[in-house]
């Protein structure tokens, strides 16, 4: 079972100034339509090739997508490899915080 966090909890942590490792696994066009400023884009279609960009340490890695499905798959993929991953429930559809558009 993957660890999960709500978008409200994630927003509270970001607004409190916590430095979180947040990865958005949506595709580039979805990212450009709006994303969380602190997120890093690693599209699911490129994920296995870009695995070296993800630090494996004790810090949790928060994974978000549009609705929580793709991020759940990524968490299920990373967790057995020793990554501390947390799926963002509901994804960007549930996000009520600020978003950035474009690059």
Q: What angle do CA 87, 2, 59 make, to 5 degrees?
A: 65
| Catalytic positions | 65
């Amino acid at each position: 079972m993957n660890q999960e966090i709500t978008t409200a909890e994630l927003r509270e942590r970001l607004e409190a100034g916590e430095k979180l490792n947040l990865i958005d696994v949506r595709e580039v066009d979805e990212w450009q339509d709006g994303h969380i400023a602190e997120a890093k884009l690693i599209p699911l279609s490129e994920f296995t090739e870009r695995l070296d960009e993800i630090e494996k340490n004790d810090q949790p890695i928060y994974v978000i997508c549009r609705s929580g499905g793709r991020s759940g798959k990524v968490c299920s993929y990373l967790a057995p490899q020793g990554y501390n991953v947390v799926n963002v429930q509901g994804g960007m559809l549930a996000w009520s915080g600020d978003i950035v558009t474009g690059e």
